[in-house]
Amino acid sequence: MLFYSRVSAGEVKRIIRESDELTTIIIETRGNSPYDDKGLPILNKGSFSASYVAEVRVGINLSKVRVKRVDNVKKRIYVSIPKSKIQSVKIDPKTIKFSKKRFALFNFDQREDVIRFEKNLEKQLIKNPRKKDYKKADKQAKVLIRGIITSGAPRYEVVFI
């Protein structure tokens, strides 16, 4: 907590940077996705569909939060924050249920097929975010950043620019 009557931008930055990333929302997503690897049908081509449950964490990188200026007369702290981004995607392996498996005589790398399926699915989930989730995450980031700053400078208003 800052007890001084004047607050500096450096002090505010120190308060914010006590953490590295700030997860603002966690989205549980369910879906069904096909998988086909390279190979010859019937001989060695792995092919299946699988349902899954994944956890997508969305938030901001606190090192990119900028304290633009501190107005000690009006008791305002002007801050800019980055847009929310996907921080991680985790597919729960216990929830993967396979269907539409196609037979292959010599598909000896079925375990590798599942690993490739998970990696491809993670990439797909990162590429196709839902816009409404980002808006919600950005709004929540402002609430949390405001709370972090005002815990150290309680008499100041936080203004996002």
Q: What is the pLDDT of residues 12-31, one digit of tens each?
A: 888 887 777 899 999 999 99
Lookup: tokens for 5:
């009557």
% of the chain residues with pLDDT over 70: 84
pLDDT for residue 74 is more than 50: yes
- Distance between CA atoms of 64 and 131, rounded to whole angstroms? 21
Mean pLDDT to the nearest integer, 35-49? 66
pLDDT for residue 143 is more than 60: yes
Give the C-alpha distances (Å, rounded to integers) separating 77 from 6, 66, 123: 11, 11, 38
- Distance between CA atoms of 89 and 27, rounded to whole angstroms? 10
Domain ranges of the chain: 9-160
- Distance between CA atoms of 67 and 148, rounded to whole angstroms? 13
What's the pTM?
A: 0.74
Q: Tell me, what's the pLDDT at 105? A: 47
Q: Which of 53-62, 89-98, 124-133, 145-154 has the lowest mean pLDDT?
A: 124-133
pLDDT for residue 77 is more than 90: yes
